[in-house]
Each structure stands twice: as C-alpha cells, then as structure tokens.
Structure 1
Amino acid sequence: MTQPTPLRFGLYTCFAPGGPLGTAWHHPGNLDFNYLDLDHQTKLAKALEAAKFDLIFWADFSGVHDTYQSSYNVAVRDAVAFPLGDPLVLTAALAGATENLGLAFSANMTQQNPYNFARRVATLDHLTKGRISWNIVTSYQPSAWRNAGFDDMEGHSTRYVRAQEYVDVVRKLLVESWEDKAVVRDVERKVYADPALVHPIEHEGTYYRVPGIGLSEPSPQRMPVTLQAGSSGDGRNFSARNAEAMFIGTDSPDGAAKMISDMTRRLEENGRSRSDMLFLQYFNVVLASTEEEAKRKNEELDEQLISEGNIAFTSSSMGTDLSQIDIDKPFADFKTESMQGILKGFIESAPDKSWTFRDMVRKLGSDRVVGTPEQIADELEKWRDVGGVDGINLNGQDVQNTYDFLEHAVPVLQERGLMQREYRSGTLRDKLFRR
C-alpha cells in the first residue's frame, strides 16, 4: 500500500515586532524574541530546519495600516505589522545559516522596478543555492501606492493586470534572456559568457518598458518558486496562470476541497493541471501538553482580539475606516477594492448574511486549532485526507508557541507520516514537488 505524501510545512511570520500576525508584540510568548536581532532570527531558522520544515514565509506590507481614523497613530503605537524590516535582506542574512530550509519572501510591484527586482531575486537564488520563493503581492494599501509615487491605489482588477505584466518581465529576464549554455567560463579563450546566447527581452508593455538583457547569469532555479494568496476571482485566475503554490484560508477541510476543485478547473483552463500547484492551508495553532492548558492559552489570546490594533488592521484590510461605522452592522453587501477574497470568504461562511464587522475582527485571529500534539495531528490529518491540501502554512500565534510546536508536535506528526523526516536533495522546487 502506498503511503500518503507527507504534508509540506511553512512557518507564517512577519519581519516585525509581533512576529506572526494576530499576536501582540507584548504577548509573553514574544517578549524574548527581538525581531531585529540576527541571532534570534538565525536560531529560529535553524530550529525550523532541524524540524524539517520546508520553508519560512514572511508576510510583508509596503505601507502603513493607516485607514483607521485616517491616521497611522494606532498602527505605530500598537506595532500593527509595523515597523517592518525588509524580508529580502533577512533572506540574504539567513542564506549561510541554513542549508535546506526554503526562504519565502513577499514583494509587490510597487516596491521597485522589475529590472532591479529580477537581479535581486537571481542573486538571492545563487546565494541560497536555489532555496528562495516569491510571494507575489499586489498591495491593498493606499499608503503603499502613494509612497511609491502613485497618485492613489489602483483598482482591484487593474492591480492584477499590472502584476501580470510585472511577472512577465521578471520571467523574461530570469528565464529567457540567458540561454542554458551562455556561461562558458573558458579560461583559455578568456570568454566568460557567449554573447550570442544572451538576448535582450525587448519588452514594451502597458506599464513597463525593458529593452535590455538580464543583469544576472542563470541561477539554480532561474525563476523562484512563485506563491500567491489572492482568493478573489481575479486572484484565483492570476494564481492559475502564475503560481506554483497557493496559500488558502478556508474554514474547514470541506471548504478546502471546494476551493481546490475550483482552482483545478482554472488551472486546466490555463493549460495546467492539479499537480502543477501546491495548496497550503493557513493554520493557527495553540499547543500545550494538556487540553486544559491549551484552552487556557487560547483564552489569553482571545482577550486581545477586539483590540484597537486589530480593528486598525481590519480597517486597512477591508479598505474602510471602522471608526466611522457601527461595527455590529452586517457587512454582506459591503464592497471594497482591498482584500476582496477574504471578505467573500467571510460572507460565504455565513449564508444567512449575519456576519458583522466585529465578527470579522474577532474571526481574523480566532480560527485556531487548540489542543495537545495528538489532537493537532488528528486535525491536520483531516485537512490532508478530506480537504486534499498539500501543506500547512503555520501561524504559531507567538514565537514561544512555535518553539513548543517544533519540540512537541513535530515528533508526533513525523511518527504518523504527516511530516517529512529528511529533506530531498536539490532546489526548493525539487523539494516541494517531490513525487
């Protein structure tokens, strides 16, 4: 009998004081972790690698969450995914401290020109020996767009059109500009690369004009493993064309199965198949040696849910100032240019259209799996066998709880065949798409 494929595991975090989103920076489980201390970041990365995690994933924002009260005050005061370090710099810093762990960073097209970004990506792929992954972000924050020189944030659909061209340019520079045998390193002839095998991409598009050749020679993966998290119609179509892995945030294994079925149809419409994409379920975990202790830890986290900081984050995510409306008002007919997929998911989970804005604030951080290592393993098995997910993007809620997961849950998961015991050789793409 063929053994089921182990789940892939990523750690979901943020290069910010609070670490994983949804937990306050001053939570006791975060106090001993200094996000700007490279020793702390290295220790975490090495611990993940020792546990055989596939990757560490940094969510990122290129603007301040300043929609609430039309001000950045709450975001700054409460450290709402702010301040932020650059995850690409952290990726480079951790390259030499790890050998197998995938390093997945978020970056959006407002941050820099695709020509410069392609060189950074190729350099990181070389330095990590092919272990990087790019989460393609379109950015729903008006402040991010304005600070990048735009008059205002573009509309939801337009952002995905721009993102498609951005990805096309990056792919041309990294994959098409240099042929496989272009780098010859012929010492006798004193020829490093054959000019006949290096080509200008001659891109002339709606948003970008890039006539020349790529600055970097081919890296181990050429194109990094591409990730995407958009769950709106536009986001799903974009993922079906471009992503190799998709982060999903469904409410149940049955919901995951429906999402994957829909995405399989979209993949096939784009000439791809189900095997071309991994689906990684976002997963909040609160772990303890006993069920009672896990529940106590969970109750402590619940006390933070309706904080002003969480309301500010939700305001930014929804593109509306929740200080100006009744947050106990149902939002079934609410329209937004921000995170449409998340809103759609909340509405669908309450078919009687009873969800309120307060429910949304609370639910953004309360969907957790709470229990012992054995109970966590039971739940993960359902997501694999019933939901059909390929992996888990784990939010440990706080850094200490993440270490507890590595120490206590990982051995149980490996014993059950839910998690790998050893890494495969090769690049991150080779490791993730194991057969």
Structure 2
Amino acid sequence: MSKTIRFNAFEMNCVGHQSPGLWTHPRDRSWQYKDLDYWTDLARTLERGFFDAVFIADVVGYYDVYKGSNYHALHQGVQIPVNDPLQLAAPIAMVTEHLGIGITASTSFEHPYTFARRLSTADHHTKGRVGWNIVTSYLESGAKNIGEGGLRRHDNRYEVAAEYTEVLYKLFEGSWEEGSVLRDKDRGVFIDPEKVHEIGHKGKYFEVPGYHLCEPSPQRTPVLFQAGASGAGKAFAAEHAECVFVSTPARSTLGQYVSDIRRQAAAAGRDPSKVLVYALVTVIVDETDEKAWAKFEEYKRHVSYDGALVLLSGWSGIDFGQYAPQDPVRAVETNAIVSVVEHLANGDKEWTIDELARWAGVGGLGPVFVGSPASVADTLQKWVEETDVDGFNLAYALAHETFEDVVEHLVPELQRRGVYPTAYKPGTLREKLFGQGPLLPDTHPAARYRDIERIKREGRPARCRENLAPA
C-alpha cells in the first residue's frame, strides 16, 4: 500500500515569502499579511484540505548581503516588512478545530525563560495545537541589531541551541509535576507548592535558577520542528525534532537526507518512523496540464530577478550581485545556511547565477510541480516512493490562490488514490501526527528532565551523543 502523503502550508508573516515580486500579480493577497482576515481565511482553507499545519517561517533581521545593502530587499519587499509569527496562533486557532500551527523562533535572539512563557501560553490558547520550529538564524543583521556584533559561527550556534532546548525541557517537563494544579475551592488551594520546582540550570550559555511561570500546557513541550540540513543541523534534528523540514531541488539529494536523518535518529535511541520529514515543494495545479502550465508562465512574468538574488544571497551568505548572470554557482565557505551552498554546488545540476535566480523566483529552493491533479499526484507519489519522505511543505506562488487550487484540485485526487487523509485524528497536534498521546515519548531527550529534583542532585546529565554539535 502506498504511503500516506502529508501537507503543511509554508507561510511567513510578510509579503510574498518565497516568491519575490509576485505581490505585483493582481490576484495575490500576500500584501494583506497585516490583516487577521488574511490568516483566518487561509486557516479555514487549509483545514478544509486536511493540512497537518500552517508552518510559519520567520527571520529576525533583514537581507543585506546582495550588493552589500538592504536596498533591493526594501525596494522589492523581500521578507521585509515582517511581523511576529507567534501572535498568529490564537486567531488561527479560533477559526479552526484541528489545524496545527508551527511557529518559527530562533535560539539566537530571545532568552529561553521568557520564550518558554510565550510558547506555553500559545499552547494553552490553541488547546495543544502549537509546534515550535527551532532555528539558529543566519542573518548577521539580526545579531547586530540586538547588540551581539554578529552571528556566532555556524556549528557553535547549534551548541547554543542544544543548551537552549535543555532549559526549555526543564521548564516544560520538570518544573511543574502532574497534579500540581489543584483548583480546590473548598480548601482555597490553587497550587500545591510542593509539586512546583526550581530547575536550577547553570550552563555555559544560560543561567535559569527558578520556576516556569506557566502551568503545564496540553502538550507540555509543543511539537518540535527543525530545518537543519548541515552536518550539525542534521545531528540536532535527529536527536530533537519530531518533524523535519528540508529544502532541496533534487530527488536524489532528498532521499539521501531522509535516510541519514532516520539512521541518526535510530542511533540516538529514537524510533525513526516517528520522525516526519517534509520537503519544500511549490505546486501549480489546475484542471488540465495546459491550464496549469499557462498559470505558471503567467506567474513567472511577475518574478523579481533582484528579489530572488536578495533571498539567495541572504540564505547562502554569498553576494550573488558580484557575479555575472552566466557565472556558475560554486561552493564558498559561509556562516549562513551551509546546506544551501552544499546542495547547489554539489547537486545533480550545475547552476548559473541567472538560472538560479529564475529557479528560486517561484517557491524558493524547492522544486515546482506543475500540471493537472493526476500529473502532480503522480509526481508526489514518485518522490515519496523513491525518497521515503513523509510529506511536503507547500510554498505558495500566489496567496491564497496556490493553496486554494491544491485543496480544490489536488487533495481530492490524492484522496481518491487512498494516499491522503480524509479526516483529522482527535486531540492535540502531537496526537494528530503520531496518535500516541499529547506528551513527548519517553525515548525523547526531554523525558530525562521530568524528575528535575533528581537532575539537580546528580548534576547535568550526559547528552545522548556528546558530538551533537561541534564547539
């Protein structure tokens, strides 16, 4: 029997997201990102299409690598202006019953103690439908604007992230015992103080001695997403992530990535089948192949060439403005998203700068699948069968037309083939995804912090793998 295909919607609280310039299209709605109606309309559409979640990306900073300034980012509206993603959780939850809400937040720009409260609050408000996409960030401008002078080195950012998540696990899993909240009106006792514990964390990067400010949320630790594709990123994902997001233009590269993640997850003592991998894809679908290709050609006329290179320069850390359009893309050591350079320079295809800009202009670095429902369904099934990927993070070309087309045309075809959900499972996001209760399993590294008093007596426990992230 064919594997079930899963969808997330890949979004961002900004204009255009992965398709720079398409905000100029008369049917595009992404300029309405500031309005709650934009998000509630999208959420209803996605839930009607049985999407697992809306996966909301974020950056803290702006893209100023291309030609050495942020002029073209501002001029073309390339992921700036950009609003806070976490504030979208409550309005999306209010108009849906099942849709998950994946929120991106960086371990580089906010203290874990205050972030833990914000994340628990969102999990409460959504009745346990929140996920956290753990990122370490890649924009130097963000680090400079919070007074750090610049980003830490790439692998060192993952070392910081490992301790950051440890602090959150202690707060979420260990600070408040089960049964600590009594709400006993007869005795006038709301909380049993004996069951609320200081976490006593004192590490290399963070010192958090006290209690979590929130009572346990439905999932305690929200579902953990992660998008690392470098060596350090994959090691981190294999130990921590429940859902992994990868962007690569080649099917062969994707298959290698999925296999490696599952192998490393098994080595870390986790069930590799319980790590869901979603690949970035943009789908342009219509009633017939001819209509879909005509729509794609229409979209491409609105692509911003400079805008695409703004994104590519920011993601890779390479100023593509210094090269001629016909120059080949070559590997250069950078401090940004290392996997972007690796995939482009070492993949199946040799790219020129011009080809790369035109490729990334619709949907970013993932492939674009164009065609009728049957044609696109065939392609998706082939990718799943050949790579063992679990699903796809769908980027949009036009908001919300791309997702509406997927729900109207593609979802029914996949359901007819028996490879796409026809209903949601009950419960929290973790229960919907894995069907095994609202909390992280005992095999996850967070579980070791549930007895926080033992942890404090014994000292900081050994990590599952000492080489998780090279210093």
**Aligned ranges for residues 156-235 of structure 1 at < 5 Å?**
156-235=154-233
Match of 2:465 in 1: none
| Aligned residues of 1:201 and 1:212 also touching (Cα < 8 A) | yes
Distance 2:325 2:240 in 1: 37
TM-score w.r.t. the length of structure 1 is 0.94
RMSD, matched Cα: 1.9
Match of 1:397 in 2: 397
Match of 1:138 in 2: 136
Is 2:371 aligned against 1:375? no
Counterpart of 1:13 in 2: which secondary structure? Answer: strand
TM-score w.r.t. the length of structure 2 is 0.87
- Displacement of 1:328 in angstroms is 3.2
Match of 2:387 in 1: 387
Match of 1:340 in 2: 338
Q: Alpha-carbon deviations, 1:259-281, whole Å to 9, x = none?
A: 21111221122222312300111
| Aligned residues of 2:128 and 2:218 also touching (Cα < 8 A) | yes
Pick closer, same or farther for the CA change 1:313–1:373 going to 2, 3 Å. same
Q: Alpha-carbon deviations, 1:161-211, whole Å to 9, x = none?
A: 111111111111111111112112122221111111111111111111100
Distance 2:348 2:380 in 1: 24
Distance 2:307 2:30 in 1: 21
Distance 1:361 1:153 in 2: 26
| Aligned residues of 2:19 and 2:396 also touching (Cα < 8 A) | no
Q: Alpha-carbon deviations, 1:8-40, whole Å to 9, x = none?
A: 210011111225545522123314861112122
Pick closer, same or farther for the CA change 1:19–1:313 going to 2, 3 Å. closer
Pick closer, same or farther for the CA change 1:89–1:27 going to 2, 3 Å. same
Match of 2:60 in 1: 62
Equivalent of residue 270 in structure 1, options 255, 268, 271:
268
- Displacement of 1:317 in angstroms is 1.2
| Aligned residues of 2:21 and 2:307 also touching (Cα < 8 A) | no
Match of 1:312 in 2: 310
Counterpart of 1:10 in 2: which secondary structure? Answer: strand
Pick closer, same or farther for the CA change 1:359–1:336 going to 2, 3 Å. farther
Distance 1:315 1:365 in 2: 13
| Aligned residues of 2:253 and 2:347 also touching (Cα < 8 A) | no
Q: Alpha-carbon deviations, 1:363-399, whole Å to 9, x = none?
A: 3346200001111111111122222111111113212
The size of the alignment, in residue pairs, is 431
| Aligned residues of 1:142 and 1:152 also touching (Cα < 8 A) | yes
User: Partner letter of residue 362 of structure 1?
Assistant: R
| Aligned residues of 2:25 and 2:302 also touching (Cα < 8 A) | no
User: Partner letter of residue 177 of structure 1?
Assistant: S
Distance 1:239 1:9 in 2: 20
Equivalent of residue 124 in structure 1, options 107, 122, 125:
122
Match of 2:411 in 1: 410
Pick closer, same or farther for the CA change 1:365–1:47 going to 2, 3 Å. same
Match of 1:45 in 2: 43
**Structure 1 unmatched runs, 5+:** none
Match of 2:444 in 1: none
| Aligned residues of 1:19 and 1:30 also touching (Cα < 8 A) | no
Distance 1:397 1:94 in 2: 21
Distance 1:126 1:178 in 2: 15
- Displacement of 1:232 in angstroms is 0.6
